[in-house]
Structure 1
Amino acid sequence: MTEQQPYELLQRYADFELRRYPEHTVAEVEVDATFDRAGNAAFRHLFNYISGNNMARQSVPMTAPVLQGAAPSREPPSQKVQMTAPVLQQGPLGGGPAGGGEPDGGAYVVSFVLPTGMTEEAAPVPADPRVTIRAVPGSTAAVVRFTGRGTEADFAKRNRELQEALTAAGLKPSGAPRFARFDPPFKPWFLRRNEVIQDVAPDQAARPSAES
């Protein structure tokens, strides 16, 4: 069975879960493609890496999910508006319509989460210069899960719903959302698991309005 990225469930809200993800390590590739094509464009590089195309000739077990998000260089900064009462802050989340940006392609980072316990230092050095290894700090995130094909339109709809639910819950998003796919393309589309993962401000814990 494919190992899945671990997390701690902090609270279950009506429309999303609040989770704590521990520090972990990813292998990732940046690609210029449309949202729907980015995963395929990056997959070969990442799959070859875990299959032994690295300096140690070491195979690395595959885990789930495969993550996709806007490349850091393309993430638009938050846009501050003129101060009113209350104080508001708004801005696109970046990375095409799923994040509020332009629909015709851009830079995306697609990541494989490496097995639990594999640090950045212990991970095999990639032989492919397009593959990079990065340590990701732990974070608190709001997550909405859904089944389906996991297209840009699917993620866009769920992301809008998640952002609205966060506002209603009084939770503040931090950074751009990530889009997670758990299943291979040969699995029936109506059974494929997908998630939108949105980090929230680290000092925000579960609220009394959440469901147990």
Structure 2
Amino acid sequence: MHPILKTAALALGLLALPAAAHAAEEPPHTVVIEDGAIQIRDYAPMILAEVEVSGDMGDAGNAGFRPLAGYIFGGNQARSGGSDAIAMTAPVIQTRSETIAMTAPVTQSMTTDGSWRVAFVMPPEWTMETLPVPEDAAIILTEIPARRMATIRFSGGPNDARFAAKTEELRTWLSVQGYEVVGEPVYARYDPPWIPTFFRRNEVMLEIAR
């Protein structure tokens, strides 16, 4: 597709996202325990499309969102030729990547040089063999095994202080309940950047031992 036409198509797709974002498919999971804003969930294996970007927490999330949105809206090479559209899913999640292992969740993650990893979860009907190849070489496809996650929900925009406070609140709850944390904090956002901050659904997620 001509670059100008591709940019126009992406813009139209992004304009359609606000209404659809709230109905975006979430990764398959089972809620094991619920206590107010806190849940324990078992997630099925998933595939991530992720990209590394620089900037502070909020700017990096927005910067990473754009190339990933481009990928799912057709900035890709289908296995059978042409391009494929991939359904939008939620959440987009961020963590500090210097501590992320192979079992880390979907992430926007901070690297040792101050950059972040931002990732979309691919819909479960896709596999590594069928997903189209990203045209942007910076986008990496990664398989993530099943894991158990503790989550705490809150509203607002990306904010380091709020993220730290909610992380501490979740860690305290897990300690009291006797859970073992085995992963680093993950910041999950379920709405695109243009949704007003007070309407946005966010979560801190921590991987825990089963």
TM-score (norm: length of structure 1): 0.76
- Counterparts in 2 of 1:1-212, with a 5 A limit? 1-13=23-35, 16-56=38-78, 57-71=83-97, 74-75=98-99, 106-202=114-210
> Is contact 1:70–1:107 with CA below 8 Å preserved after alignment?
no
Q: Would you tell me which structure has more helix in proportion to its own residues? A: 2
TM-score (norm: length of structure 2): 0.77
> Is contact 1:15–1:162 with CA below 8 Å preserved after alignment?
no
Count of residue pairs brought into register by the alignment: 177
How many Å separate the matches in 1 of 2:177 and 2:132?
42
Secondary structure of the residue that 2:134 maps to in structure 1?
coil
Query: Once the 2 structures are TM-superposed, how far is the Cα of residue 7 of structure 1 from its aligned partner?
Result: 1.3
Query: Once the 2 structures are TM-superposed, how far is the Cα of residue 14 of structure 1 from its aligned partner?
Result: 5.4
> Is contact 2:62–2:193 with CA below 8 Å preserved after alignment?
no
Q: Residues 76 and 18 (structure 1 numbering): CA distance in 2 closer, same or farther, change over 3 Å?
A: closer
Gaps of 5+ in 2: 1-22, 102-108
Deviations 1:150-191 (A, max 9, x none): 322221111111111111111111121211101123323212
| Equivalent residue letter for 1:21 | Y
> Is contact 2:38–2:150 with CA below 8 Å preserved after alignment?
yes
Deviations 1:91-119 (A, max 9, x none): xxxx67xxxx99xx713211101112212
Deviations 1:65-108 (A, max 9, x none): 1111122xx2289xxxxxxxxxxxxxxxxx67xxxx99xx7132
Gaps of 5+ in 1: 78-94, 203-212
Query: Once the 2 structures are TM-superposed, how far is the Cα of residue 15 of structure 1 from its aligned partner?
Result: 5.8
| Equivalent residue letter for 2:95 | G
% identical equivalent positions: 37
How many Å separate the matches in 1 of 2:174 and 2:48?
27
Deviations 1:173-212 (A, max 9, x none): 112121110112332321210011100013xxxxxxxxxx
Deviations 1:111-137 (A, max 9, x none): 101112212222111111100111111
Moved more, 28-37 or 44-53: 28-37
How many Å separate the matches in 2 of 1:45 and 1:76?
22
How many Å separate the matches in 2 of 1:185 and 1:134?
24
> Is contact 2:40–2:150 with CA below 8 Å preserved after alignment?
yes
How many Å separate the matches in 1 of 2:145 and 2:91?
17
How many Å separate the matches in 2 of 1:76 and 1:122?
26
What CA RMSD, in Å, does the superposition of the two structures yield over aligned residues?
Answer: 2.2
